[in-house]
Amino acid sequence: MGEIWTEEQLIADGFERVYVESEWYGEPLAGLADIGGKPHYFKMYGYDHSHKADEYQVWPASEAVAELEREQWAIYARWYERQQAGEVGQESHPGHGGVDARYDELELLLAPHRLAPDGARRLVCEMRFVAGVDVRYRVEGPDYWLRWRPRPPQIIGCCADNQ
């Protein structure tokens, strides 16, 4: 899993909390996290399996929308806890639709907010896991935080590649 850090270390190093992970494929692909201390949606831009820094489209989420996202995430996290304990099966996953009415209602309410607007910023991020967290998905968010920075400028025709 890699190294882990305390929340104090993460804050000191400029990492910010992730509230919702809506897509994961070996790394976070989409979700809701603080960027600059405010909730923002993030969605990976052009995932390509390369070792280059992955770019994300990011855009602000209002506090009201962020609360709805956290409410839906809490429904999922409580299901995940029950599923990990063997109390329920995969068929009861709230994301399947028709399983949890409030989850479904939130899905409809949140869908338009999850679309990246024109002009969404592009950033890259680094991920670190939180120490002392033994549950992957918790009501307060997944077990990692992210540090955001501007994407590096593209250098065209760099000498190292032309030798």
Specify the residue for token string 């309410």.
109
User: Residue 163 has what pLDDT?
Assistant: 41
Tell me how far apart the alpha carbons of residues 90 and 108 are, in angstroms, rounded to a whole number: 22
Mean pLDDT rounded to a whole number for the chain: 89
pLDDT at residue 152, as a whole number: 74
The two tokens of residue 151 are 């994407």
The partner residues of 123 in beta bridges, in order of sequence, read 56, 150
For 158, phi and psi rounded to 5 degrees?
-65, 140
Cα–Cα dist 38/27, whole Å: 22
Per-residue pLDDT tens digits for 51-79:
556 799 999 999 999 999 999 999 999 99
pLDDT tens digits, 109-163 = 999 999 999 999 999 999 999 988 788 899 999 999 999 999 877 666 555 444 4
Whole-prediction pTM:
0.86
Concatenated DSSP letters of the chain: ---EE-HHHHHHTT-EEEEEEEEESSSEEEEEEEETTEEEEEEEES----SSPPEEEEEE--HHHHHHHHHHHHHHHHHHHHHHTTSS-GGG-GGGSSS-HHHHHHHHHHGGGGSPPTT-EEEEEEEEEETT---SEETTEESEEEEEEEPPPP-TT-HHHH-
Per-residue pLDDT reduced to its tens digit, 73-97: 999 999 999 999 999 999 999 999 9
pLDDT at 162: 42
End-to-end distance of the chain based on CA atoms, in angstroms?
A: 37
pLDDT of residue 78: 96
Give the pLDDT of residue 156: 63
Q: What are the residues facing 136 on neighbouring strands? A: none
Query: Any idea which residue has 């998905």 for tokens?
Result: 137
Quick one: pLDDT at residue 123? 96
**Residue 13, pLDDT above cutoff 90:** yes
Q: What is the token pair recorded at 26?
A: 């070996």
